Each structure stands twice: as structure tokens, then as C-alpha cells.
Chain A
Amino acid sequence: MSLLRVDQLTGGYNGHVVIDGCSMQVDPGEVVVIMGGSGSGKSTFLKHLIGLKPPMSGSVELNSEDLYSGSMNDRYRRLSHIGVAFQMGALVSSLSIFDNVALPLRETTDLPEDVIEVMVRLKLEFVELLDKQDLLPSELSGGMLKRAAVARALARDPKLVFMDEPSAGLDPVVASALDDLILKIKDALGVSVVVVTHELESAFKIASRIVVLDRGFIIFDGSVDAIRASDNPRIQALINRTAEPMAFDAEEHYRRIMGLPEG
């Protein structure tokens, strides 16, 4: 049974389609990397997957339940089975790291406080932040903040965790340590991870499967070996980091620069 099933999802902003008829699924114990160039719609896709944005059409199923059917409270209940680590952490700035990780446990479960404390310390130990538990989010470095966000995402022992751009803005050593953490989450905890990134190297290192998003369409869904072997020119452009070939039209270029209407 898949943990996440996306069926013919179309979505975007104010009637403007950014994601067009995308389908994919995530099975237990795999790391799925969603890749794509800048502006390809990765962040938008993620918003649809984690319950922040109802799709224009199509469906998102978590544990075989339609995420967006019913009331907002049904959605909150379904969302309590997943974890999300945002790019900038999105931790509550007025709470300590410990309280931030404890937040989902305190607010959505009936666990007694002493159990919660042990669970939180376990998660902080897992991401190696136990010694920072009393600091505020503003007192952590970028890399620590991301690990704290991971600890919070893992707090309720979900089966599925989403991560947005985990290595963006980190130095290569810290970014690679974060990749190791993602593999550790998969191997040690048996949790499936969906990672949105445009870091090629990191994608190849962690992915069980890679999904490539391009201009709102899924143009590839397969293993790391398969993507290396792909002869699709846009995928080749992505993995060889070449700018996409574009026919140069001198007249059109002139119009654009001069702000003239399209001819």
C-alpha cells in the first residue's frame, strides 16, 4: 500500500496552472527526490502534497485517504500522520528548540509530559542537537535549524516525512551531513522521505527514486541509473547543468528589452 498517491493533480495560483496533471506515489521505506529547474513548480507541488493548497483538480491521498475531502478539521487529522521539515525551519520563534519539537506531541496527542520529554530528547539526539535544546530558533545556525525542523517532523514517529530544499544555503560538508541524516531516517527508522531539491549530487546520493518536474509536468519517474541513461534532452540538460537551448530571435529580443508589445 502506498503512503502517498497523487493522481492527475493540477494546481497553481489564481487560475494560473503551475502543476499540470501530475501523478506519482510513494511506497514505504523509499526516498523519493522531486527535482526540477528553478521555477519548474517544485515548491507549488509540495504545497499541494502537504495540505496547504487544495488542487484545482485531481487528488492527493495520504494512507488511502483523500487529503482534501471533508472539512479543514479532517485535513488536520490526516496531516498529523506526516511530518514536514520546511526550508527555513518554520519553527515557532517564541519557543525553545525543545518546546518546538514537543509542540506536535503536546498539541495533538494525549501523551503524558514525561513520555513526551523522553520522545523529544530521543529525536534531538537523533539529529545531534540535544545540547542545543534550550536555545531559541533564532540562536541556531542554518544547518542546525534544518536539523531541528527534521526533529520536529519526526516527533510523532510518522511513516512519511517531507523535506523542502534540505541542502539549500548550506556548505558542502554540512549539506552532505544532512544527506546522511536523510538516509539514516530511511534506514534506521524505516520512514519514507520525500525530498524537494535541485542539488543533483545530493539527489543521486539519497534517492531510491527520482521524479523530475519540468514546466509543471512530470517528465521522468525512475531510478538513479535510469535517469543517467535517459536520452531525453531536457533531462540531459538538467543533469549536465547545461542551460536549455533556446532559439535566439533578434527581433523578439529587441522587443522584450524595449518593453514593446509582443509582435
Chain B
Amino acid sequence: MIFGPLRSAVDFVGLVSLNLRDTLFYVIAGRAYGQPVRLTAVSQQVLLSGLQAIPIVILLCGIVGVMLAIQGMQTLSIFGAEQFINVGLAVSIPKEFSPLIVGIVVAGRSGSQITSRVGSMGLNGELDGLTVMGIAPHRFVDVPTLLGLLVSVPILVVIGDFAALGLAGLYASTALGMSFHAFMDQLIELISLADYLLGISKGVVFGVLIGGIALAFGRSVAGGADDLGRKTTSSVVVCIATIIAVDALYSILGQL
């Protein structure tokens, strides 16, 4: 009984990797084969997955930042050590919370957008139409989507860092009766460059994962509207689950 789902999971991982391999091929060698990647298409995806996600990323990361500050200060107050909240924020936000929140937001927004777009292109015969025109669907559809995510997710992580740290700082400095500027100076001083870059690198990895999974689900749509709906839902669920799992993996590997 367990083998059925296990096998389809392995099949799906295979599908995602094959798809990613073909996509990568056109990024590197597309031009040589008369299949150049268009920057306008990439920028369109950046607009869709990146720019348009900025408000929700600021909102969610800001809220999580404030919540962290509140919870952290409550816990620290048991030891009378509220002023050390800046240490907790500096460690956890850039490395952990900002990439995770951004990953989940992008998985929800772009994961569904990509799967439903590619899925309906398949159902309408648009992908076949591209193929017979001699335009590789991987080059025309997948590459810009993936590159767009690769660019936008790390940028969103940086924006999420600012929002979460800024709002957390606003709350904590007020609660501690400090000036916002002084608090932020200390806070930024405490952030290690390695943690900050690790957070951004998670953005890159999450971007590739979301793109790879959502595109593979979109390609696997067959049959009709029912399947399109089902695959779009699965795509978002698998994207979010994968991001949380990979994030956990980062933490575990960080312990070694």
C-alpha cells in the first residue's frame, strides 16, 4: 500500500529533475541551437512573482517580526533579560523566518499561477502549437518562469528582512524605551554576514524548487478542467511542504 504513493513520489521527483535539466539546457545552450531565451519574458515573471508580491511579503514578514519580538521579550522577561531581544531577532529573522515566509507566500501565489498557466496551455494545445513552430516549450515557457523566480525570490527575502527587522525593532525599541535608531544600529551590528547570505541563498533554492515543482505539475495536466484544478492544488501543497522540509534540512545540516 505504501509503495504506490512512494513510487509516484519518486516518479514525480524524476519528472521535476528531467524538466529542470531540459530547462537548464536552454539557459546555457539555447542560443547555440537557435532557441534564445528572451529577457522580456523573464522580466514579466519577475513582475508577476516578485514585484506584485512585495506588499504581502512586507505585511506578513512585518507581522511575524513583531510577533517574534513580543514572544521573545515575554520569554526573556522571565530572566529579566528583555534587552537581549536584539540577539534573538538578529539570528532568527534573516536566516530563518524571512526566507520561510517569503517561500510560503511565493509558493502560494506563483506556484498556483504557474501550474494553472502551463496546465491550461497544455489543454488548449498551445504547447503543441509552440512545438510545431519549432519553438521549444521549455525555452519559451519554463526558462523565463524559472529565471524569473530565481531573481525575484532572493530579492523578496531581502525585502522581508527589512520589513521583519524594522517592525520588530519598532516594537522592541518602544517597549524597551530606547530610540529606534540606537536599537537598529545594535541589531544590524549583531547580524552575521554568513546568516544573512544563508537566508538569501535559501531564497535562490526555494525559487528553483517552486519553479521546478509548479512547472512539472503544469506539464502533467491531462484530461481536462478537473485535472487542472487538482494539479494546481497539489502543486501549492507540494511546494509549501517541500519548502518547509528543505528549510528543516538547512537547520539540521547547520547543526553538524
Known: A90-B124, A90-B125. A103 touches B135 (CB 8 A): yes
The answer to whether A77 and B132 have CB atoms under 8 Å apart is: no
Q: Taking the complex as formed, is B195 at the interface, i.e. its CB lies under 8 A from any CB of chain A?
A: no
Give per-residue flags for A125-164: 1 if the beta carbon is below 8 A from chain B beta carbons, else 0. 0000000000000000000000000001000000000000
- Number of residues of chain B lying within 8 A (CB) of chain A: 19
Q: A232 to B140, alpha carbons, bound, how many Å?
A: 48
Q: Chain B's nearest CB lies how many Å from the CB of A55?
A: 16
Q: Taking the complex as formed, is B3 at the interface, i.e. its CB lies under 8 A from any CB of chain A?
A: no
- Number of residues of chain A lying within 8 A (CB) of chain B: 23
Task: Specify which chain A residues have a CB less than 8 angstroms from the CB of B140 in the assembled complex.
Answer: 107
Those of A73-104 within 8 Å (CB) of chain B? 73, 76-80, 82, 84, 86, 88, 90-93, 103-104
Q: A104 to B134, alpha carbons, bound, how many Å?
A: 8
Q: Chain B's nearest CB lies how many Å from the CB of A80?
A: 3
| Total CB contacts across the A-B interface at under 8 A | 67
Q: Taking the complex as formed, is A230 at the interface, i.e. its CB lies under 8 A from any CB of chain B?
A: no
Q: A82 to B130, alpha carbons, bound, how many Å?
A: 12
Chain A's closest residue to B33 (CB) is A73
Known: A72-B136, A73-B33, A73-B35. A52 touches B131 (CB 8 A): yes
Q: Taking the complex as formed, is B182 at the interface, i.e. its CB lies under 8 A from any CB of chain A?
A: no
Task: Specify which chain B residues have a CB less than 8 angstroms from the CB of A78 in the assembled complex.
Answer: 134
Give per-residue flags for B133-162: 1 if the beta carbon is below 8 A from chain A beta carbons, else 0. 111100010000000000000000000000
Task: Specify which chain A residues have a CB less than 8 angstroms from the CB of B34 in the assembled complex.
Answer: 73, 76-77, 80, 108
Taking Cβ atoms with an 8 Å cutoff, the residues of A that contact B are 50-52, 72-73, 76-80, 82, 84, 86, 88, 90-93, 103-104, 107-108, 152
Taking Cβ atoms with an 8 Å cutoff, the residues of B that contact A are 33-35, 38, 120-121, 124-126, 128-136, 140
